[in-house]
Amino acid sequence: MTNGYPALAATDVETLVQRIETDLDAIQLIDVREPHELEIASVPHFVNLPLSQFPAWSPTISTQFDPHAETIVMCHMGMRSAQMCQWLSEQGFTNVKNLAGGIDAYSRRIDRSVPIY
């Protein structure tokens, strides 16, 4: 437990790619970055739920996504996605993972054609 909250589960970009390649139907992918960030760099299969638009999408999160399916959350470096993982857990999501290093790690370690910003 850290700061009164349970430690968040995390996954790395290598595991993300393996899950996308072998079991895409079993995972849910959420990108919490802003639209202008998506214009710079993105990863296929992620649903964009920008944190700045939280009031628009938060009421339907448990009907848009399965609270019990593996859910991987991404942002630029991992801070905003950690906030989202905490919030999802508070909403009853039971298998939430923060993508360690975010799209920055993906760009550096998986696909160098994805711009670093």
The CATH number of the domain holding residue 23 is: 3.40.250.10
pTM of the full structure: 0.93
Confirm whether 2 is domain-assigned.
no
* pLDDT at residue 5, as a whole number: 54
Confirm whether 59 is domain-assigned.
yes
> What is the distance between the alpha carbons of residues 64 and 13, in angstroms, rounded to a whole number?
24
Query: What's the maximum distance between 2 C-alpha atoms anywhere in the chain?
Result: 39
Domain containing 99: what range?
9-109
Residue 23 token pair:
């079991």
**What's the first-to-final CA gap in the chain, in angstroms?**
32
Enumerate the β-bridge partners of residue 48: 31
Number of domains present in the structure of the chain: 1
Residues catalogued as catalytic: 75
Digit-coded pLDDT (tens) for 67-110? 999 999 999 999 999 999 999 999 999 999 999 999 999 999 99
Residue 7 has pLDDT above 90, yes or no: no
Confirm whether 114 is domain-assigned.
no
